[in-house]
Amino acid sequence: MRHHYLSVFLLSLIAFWTAPRLGAAEAGPLNVVVLYADDWRFDTLGCAGNPVVKTPNLDSLAAEGTRFKRACVTTSICGVSRATLFTGQWMSRHGNPAFQMFKTPMGETYPGLLRGQGYWVGHVGKWHNGKFPQEAFDFGRSYSGRHYIKEPDGSTVHVTQKNQKDALEFLDTRPKDKPFCLTLAFFATHAEDQNPKQYLYQPESEGLYKEVNIPVPATGSDEHFKKLPPFIANEKNEGRNRWHWRFDTPEKYQEYMKAYYRMATEVDAACGRVLETLKSQGVLDRTLVIFTTDNGYFHGEHGLADKWYPYEESIRVPLIVRDPRTPEARRGGTNDEFVLNVDLAPTILAATGVKAPATMQGQDFAPLYLAATPPAWRQEFFYEHATLRSVDFIPASEALVRKDVKYLFWPDFKYEELFDLKADPKEEHNLAGDPAQAVQLVELRKRFEELKSAAR
């Protein structure tokens, strides 16, 4: 563990000395804005090659920063992933397997640590980790679960509009003599689960995607669903249940995917307003801006909807970082390393000159885009997800993830899967029972146990 933190310190030191210095007009601590969307995966961006969804503001953010093409979460579910964002820890350490408050004190999270260093700290939108700790923020507005929200004056507002309004109020009312940190936690594009419409976009978005035909995923068939492990490939599983809500006819698929993309474009517009405000206040080039999401999302792949499981659509998320320290020649670049949600908190702290506590398990990834010579980086990681409600509803899952191979273990059933991601990027063929993979399987099991132990 000492060697790990020494290496992280050395990488941060290299990044500091090789990064361009901020000009005199930009001197002082960096501000931080985290734009944190809900339930959309790595390719729900125009700049990521999505042929349908329109995200012009986030595309522009990527053109001014760095887009990480292989960003992943260590647990693919809202509450756990949010706890990991704040604490820089795997689920095993922060202790929130199912939407309860994480065990880590707020003083050891990036908002708490920055507030302790004099930052004006705000949280707007979804919290999803037990009771919202209002006292831990200078500006705190917590709400989620509905797409239309009643305001105190009795009026109704769309949740994305409320997210935007509250974020702009934070920026407008913050003390101008203090650095600031804002986490803008959108509820969109999360479905309103109990509503038959699922994705309640704003009326003005009705015209978006009207004449477009959304491509159905190649693995979105019953044949692919039946290839899943038997405890997933049944009608009791919640991923299949939600597939029926949204995708079980061609007409529903088009309706719900268009509604989903409309909500994504609305989030993009709100992000644009926040970025415009930062620019108009003259602080954009003194602000570290991060856009990411809490988990990926199945759009019918494998005959599933939502998230939870260690397949690619579920664990990979968008990540864009606009860092004013980035050299001009590198802006607009992409990176293919495994950057994880556990890395966000230590990266934020390093950028603001605040020491990360020893409890944080992630790494500062800024050297990947700041250092003259990018450092050696992780080539694998451990994924975990707890059983929710019952093994029929959402069973536990674990995985060892590499770029070319993935080993999955389902602890409730002692069931293994093995995928050659180079030859089989859509994870259609389980090789765990192939005698030719026996030697590799032994190595993967051993490494899986080592990473699991390190996470815990």
β partners of residue 298: 306
How far is the C-alpha of 254 from the C-alpha of 233, rounded, in Å? Answer: 23
pLDDT value, residue 6: 37
Confirm whether 373 is domain-assigned: yes
CA distances from 95 to 83, 112, 217 (A): 9, 18, 35
For residues 384 and 449, the answer to whether their CB atoms sit within 8 Å is: no
Confirm whether 364 is domain-assigned: yes
> Ramachandran region of residue 339, left (φ > 0), alpha (ψ -120 to 50) or beta?
beta
Name the pairing type of β-strands 287-293 and 319-322: antiparallel
CATH number, residue 119: 3.40.720.10
DSSP 286-340: GEEEEEEES---EESGGG-EE--SSSHHHHB--EEEE-TTS-GGGTTEEE-S--B
Confirm whether 344 is domain-assigned: yes
How far is the C-alpha of 375 from the C-alpha of 455, rounded, in Å? Answer: 22
Confirm whether 7 is domain-assigned: yes
Structurally, how many domains does the chain consist of? 1
pLDDT value, residue 27: 56
For residues 267 and 160, the answer to whether their CB atoms sit within 8 Å is: yes
> Listing from the earlier edge strand, what are the strands of the sheet with 405-410?
380-385, 397-402, 405-410, 415-420
Spatial CB neighbours of 50, under 8 Å, sequence gap ≥ 6? 43, 44
* Burial call 137-154: b when 16+ CB within 10 Å, e when fewer: bbbbbbbbeebebeeeee
DSSP state of 189: T
User: What are the structure tokens assigned to 455, written together?
Assistant: 């996470």
- H or E stretch including 94? helix 91-94
Spatial CB neighbours of 166, under 8 Å, sequence gap ≥ 6? 124, 125, 141
For residues 341 and 83, the answer to whether their CB atoms sit within 8 Å is: no
pLDDT in tens, the chain (456 residues): 434 433 433 444 333 333 333 433 345 799 999 999 999 999 999 999 999 999 999 999 999 999 999 999 999 999 999 999 999 999 999 988 877 888 999 999 999 999 999 999 999 999 999 999 999 999 999 999 999 999 888 999 999 999 999 999 999 999 999 999 999 999 999 999 999 999 999 999 999 999 999 999 999 999 999 999 999 999 999 999 999 999 999 999 999 999 999 999 999 999 999 999 999 999 999 999 999 999 999 999 999 999 999 999 999 999 999 999 999 999 999 999 999 999 999 999 999 999 999 999 999 999 999 999 989 999 999 999 999 999 999 999 999 999 999 999 999 999 999 999 999 999 999 999 999 999 999 999 999 999 999 998
Of the candidates 207, 205, 202, which has an alpha carbon nearest to the alpha carbon of residue 160? 202
Confirm whether 410 is domain-assigned: no
Confirm whether 439 is domain-assigned: no
Confirm whether 426 is domain-assigned: no
Confirm whether 125 is domain-assigned: yes
Burial class (CB in 10 A: 0-12, 13-18, 19+), 181: buried
Q: pTM of the predicted model, to two decimals?
A: 0.92
Q: What share of the chain is helix, strand, coil (3-state, %, to 5)?
A: 35, 15, 45
Which domain range does residue 161 map to? 2-20+30-401
CA distances from 338 to 87, 100, 182, 404 (A): 19, 28, 25, 12
Name the pairing type of β-strands 180-185 and 156-158: unpaired
pLDDT value, residue 354: 96
pLDDT value, residue 119: 98
- Angle (CA) 179-181-184 rounded to 5° is 150
- Angle (CA) 425-426-429 rounded to 5° is 95
DSSP state of 436: G
